[in-house]
Structure 1
Amino acid sequence: MERTPKERLYWLLKLYENKEIEAETFCDEFHLTYNHDLDEELTETERVLFREIATVAARFSPFEEDHQKYPGLYFTTEDVERVVMKKALIDILLDPYSTEAEKDDAAIDLGEHFEDEETIAVLLKVSNQDDIGEMVAASCGESLAYIWLRKLEINYDQLLLLKEAALHEALSLIKAHRYDWFAEYERRLFCRREFENSDAQKGRQEG
């Protein structure tokens, strides 16, 4: 069966997830396909995740002496498994055919194991989808709060984008663990509402 380069990347990921190929073979084939053969349109999420996997694949070494001689230069099998797992979890979360339970588990696992900007962006996106279930939205909000708490850094602009179940779960955790963050959120929310009310009143006067 002839596969396009993009199809081949997904095929390689599936083989590796199912433990049908070793990390070295996966990395060699993924690196070659992504860097030399791929000429198809990718979604923004695919572009970011495939590039991340390809970076790890290009600098993978199965040899312990490489890691001892050049610490931090080469990636390990654990690094490969980590980026492949992230891609798999995000795929589940974005797949319209995944069940609510599968999406919920994926949202929780992403919050437990990852804290990069792409993970945060996907959790935000899914939490605000109109057709997403309340359980999944809540888990997305919970995972975002766990990420911020773990990093000891919160993004108020992102927090203000959350709504309903996602916002409720995020604020519950934040209020319990960092009340100063919660107080600052309330202050910013109040200022935003005051600005919106002032803007609306000005519009009515001009009209």
Structure 2
Amino acid sequence: MNTIEKWKKLIDILLDFTASDAERDDAAMDLSNYSNDEVISSLLEMARDDKVDDMTRASCGESLAIILIDTNTFSTEIHDSLEGISKTEFIKIIKHNKREWIDKIDH
């Protein structure tokens, strides 16, 4: 399976409300390895959806932070659009891995 197929399959699992919470959470975490607009958009959508369980929302926030760190590109738009557990986990990952961005995030 090539890389494109893998991230698209992971997005399909993440967005599939019939998949188990564990499968969706694993997909959210695995998506941290891919940096493209479709991945980021899907993670952001699920991070902000209150119908998604907290574990998966938290993993979406973590994955978004990891993607930004890996690409060395902070996004105020992503940061500002997160809330609750997804924002908490996003900030935690940034504080732990990219201390120079601390002034860009809410405390």
Give the TM-score category using the shorter length. Answer: over 0.9
Partner of 1:181: helix, strand, or coil? helix
Structure 1 residue 84 and structure 2 residue 10: aligned?
no
CA distance in 2, matches of 1:162, 1:123: 11
Q: Which has the larger radius of gyration?
A: 1
Runs of at least 4 residues off by over 4 Å: none
Structure 1 residue 95 and structure 2 residue 12: aligned?
no
Alignment of 1:111-122 (within 5 A): 111=32, 113-122=33-42
CA distance in 2, matches of 1:133, 1:162: 15
- RCO higher in 1 or 2 (8 Å CA, sep ≥ 6)? 2
CA distance in 2, matches of 1:134, 1:101: 11
Residue ranges of structure 2 left out of the alignment (5+ in a row) = none
Amino acid at match of 1:165: I
Partner of 1:120: helix, strand, or coil? helix
| Residues matched between the structures, number | 107
CA distance in 2, matches of 1:177, 1:142: 11
Structure 1 residue 180 and structure 2 residue 100: aligned?
yes
* Matched residue, 1:46: none
Structure 1 residue 128 and structure 2 residue 48: aligned?
yes
Amino acid at match of 1:133: D
Partner of 1:160: helix, strand, or coil? helix
Percent identity, aligned pairs only, is 34
Structure 1 residue 161 and structure 2 residue 75: aligned?
no
1:77-122, Cα deviation, whole Å (9 max, x unpaired): xxx61111111110001111011000000001111x2011110110
Partner of 1:165: helix, strand, or coil? helix
Alignment of 1:22-61 (within 5 A): none
- RMSD, aligned α-carbons: 1.4
Partner of 1:115: helix, strand, or coil? coil
**CA deviation after TM superposition for structure 1 residue 185, in Å:** 2.1
Partner of 2:67: helix, strand, or coil? helix
**CA deviation after TM superposition for structure 1 residue 178, in Å:** 2.0
CA distance in 2, matches of 1:178, 1:110: 19
Residue ranges of structure 1 left out of the alignment (5+ in a row) = 1-79, 190-207
Amino acid at match of 1:102: E
